[in-house]
Structure 1
Amino acid sequence: MDIVLIGGLWLDGSAWDEVVPELRALGHRPVPVTLPGQGDGSVSATLDDQVAAVLAAVDAASGRPMVVGHSAACTLAWLAADARPEQVAKVALVGGFPAADGDRYADFFELKDGAMPFPGWGPFEGPDSADLDEEARLRFAAAAIPVPEGVSKGVVRLTDERRWDVPVVLVCPEYTPAQAQEWLDAGDLPELARAKHVDLVDIDSGHWPMMTRPAEVARLLAEAAAETGS
């Protein structure tokens, strides 16, 4: 199965470099996406540009792909399901949840010179970064790509209710499936609360498991792909 891989804020397609060979070994075709404004040199990219790049990968896939979003890019994966509900076989959300219609995409941190740079490790102290040693933190920060304002402040638009028919697997890294279920039950995750099929799976990692637990990420994604019946 083709598996489209979308990294979160400040990441390009290389975020999945250690997951890609593991998925190939498990019989799948990984398709890591380098998003406009996050690795292609563009500083004026918009959220619409990023959605278009994801949809291009979906449209180029062989058969019906699974679309994987990490962190903020869980919204991009969900936007793909909204735009291609009959084409996306499953959505996998790693360490994040889709924004609702009308929300800003990722208006989380201060802008500088028209982009949102990595804010340092302060906001991510604790479970998010507990499995990253100092060397890994330095590498991450050095490679982090400021996210253009047109992306971070882009408004999410969801239009097709058939997105709720697309199966979802929620991969829970720095929080547990039990915590995620509590948020679902409390109505804190409105898009997922209306999804008709949501599975929750655990991974013992921080917020970036594709870097710290790549083999396990690949295994979980391969299991999710197998369950689609494709």
Structure 2
Amino acid sequence: MDSIGSESYGRLMDVVLVPGFWLRGSSWDPVLPALRAAGHRVHALTLPGLESLDARRNGIGLRDHVDSVLATIDSIGEPVALVGHSGGGAIIHAAVDARPDRVRRAIYVDSGPLADGFLINDEMPTVGDDLPLPGWSAFSDSDLVDLDDRLRRHLREIAVPEPRGVAFDRQELSDERRYDVPVTVITCTFPSADMQAAIENGAVFTAELAKVHDYEIVDLPTGHWPQFTKPAELAEALVAALRER
């Protein structure tokens, strides 16, 4: 292991990156060079049903995506850091629940831990077993900050329909040791001060995060897809979150 990297960044680790809805592992490409330069080993996952437009999505549910992450964790054999963007946050939280002793830190990118019994999103329109990327009018203005016409075209070109079951299945959690795993939330569309206030006021959407014993909230003001709109800043925030405490 490179001694300079070790001194600069602390303990280096395997980082498992889980994309949000409609995205493959390649969506993380803009942040990979910085993570590798910091000495980390990166594993950017493409989850079941997202391999291509023609991939089978029938019968694929949330647990299949969680199991895919668990298989990666188990294959690595060392404690890992998990990074989940958007809907990927629910997936990594379930993986933390299943392997609390194997995760050093969970990082949620414009996302957060989804509590037991909740759904990721059952309000978006589906087509059979597919949940396609909807029109931009389905998103809030805050989601679309910095997502210019070029980036909108790019996102639509690379988007793959999400398996319907992933959005509509209920989260299943059972091990409260998940609250012992340190958490970083990189918030883009919701200021950290507002999120902290929501936690203090007992808001339902922050109830699970509030139970985590060691969490931090980091502001990265941009839209919901910072890996495209602010890749350098997101990479810097990820590297900082992975530094030894």
The TM-score bracket by the shorter chain reads: over 0.9
List alignment gaps of at least 5 residues for structure 2: 1-12
- Contact kept, 8 Å, 1:28 with 1:222, in 2: the verdict is no
Alignment partner, residue 22 of structure 2:
10
Residue 150 of structure 1: aligned partner: 165
- Residues 181, 149 of structure 1: alpha-carbon distance in 2 compared, 3 angstrom cutoff: same
* Identical residues among aligned pairs (%): 39
User: 2: distance between equivalents of 1:28 and 1:62?
Assistant: 15
Alignment of 1:97-108 (within 5 A): 97-108=112-123
Q: For residues 102 and 139 of structure 1, what CA distance do their matches in structure 2 show?
A: 34
Deviating beyond 6 angstroms after TM superposition, the runs of 4 or more aligned structure 1 residues are: none
1:21 aligned onto 2:36? no
From 117, 128, 131, give the equivalent of 2:132.
117
Deviation at 1:14, TM superposition (A): 0.9
Decide which moves more: 218-227 or 27-36: 218-227
Alpha carbons of 1:46 and 1:31: their partners in 2 closer, same or farther (altered >3 Å)? same
Cα deviation, residue 128, structure 1 = 1.2
Q: Does the 8 A contact of 2:184 with 2:216 survive in 1?
A: yes
Larger radius of gyration: 2
Please tell me the residue identity of whatever aligns with 1:198.
Y
Shift of 1:61: 2.6
For structure 1, the 5+ residue unaligned runs are none
The residue correspondences of 1:199-218 to structure 2 (distance < 5 A) are 199-218=216-235
Q: Corresponding residue for 2:144?
A: 129
Aligned to 1:195: 212
Spell out, residue by residue over 1:93-129, the C-alpha distance to the aligned partner (whole angstroms, 9 max, x if none).
Answer: 0101222111123313011122111111112241211
Residue 53 of structure 1: aligned partner: 68
SS at match of 1:17: helix
Q: Which moved more, 1:12-21 or 1:39-48?
A: 39-48
User: How do residues 28-67 of structure 1 correspond to structure 2 at under 5 angstroms?
Assistant: 28-39=40-51, 41-44=55-58, 45-61=60-76, 63-67=78-82
Hey, what's the Cα distance between the residues in 2 that align with 1:214 and 1:130? 14
| 1:199-227 deviation line (CA, Å, top 9, x unaligned) | 01111221111112222212211111113
Aligned residue among 130, 154, 164 for 2:179? 164
Decide whether the 8 Å contact of 1:131 with 1:212 is kept in 2: yes
Deviates more, 1:3-12 or 1:56-65: 56-65
After superposition, what is the alpha-carbon deviation per residue over 1:8-41, rounded to whole angstroms, capped at 9, x for unaligned? 1111111101111121112111110101112252
Contact kept, 8 Å, 1:11 with 1:39, in 2: the verdict is: no
Note the aligned Cα RMSD (angstroms).
1.4
Report SS of the residue matched to 2:135.
coil
Quick check: 2:151–2:228 contact (8 Å CA) kept in 1? Answer: no
Cα distance in 1, alignment partners of residues 96 and 137 from structure 2: 33
- How many pairs align? 228
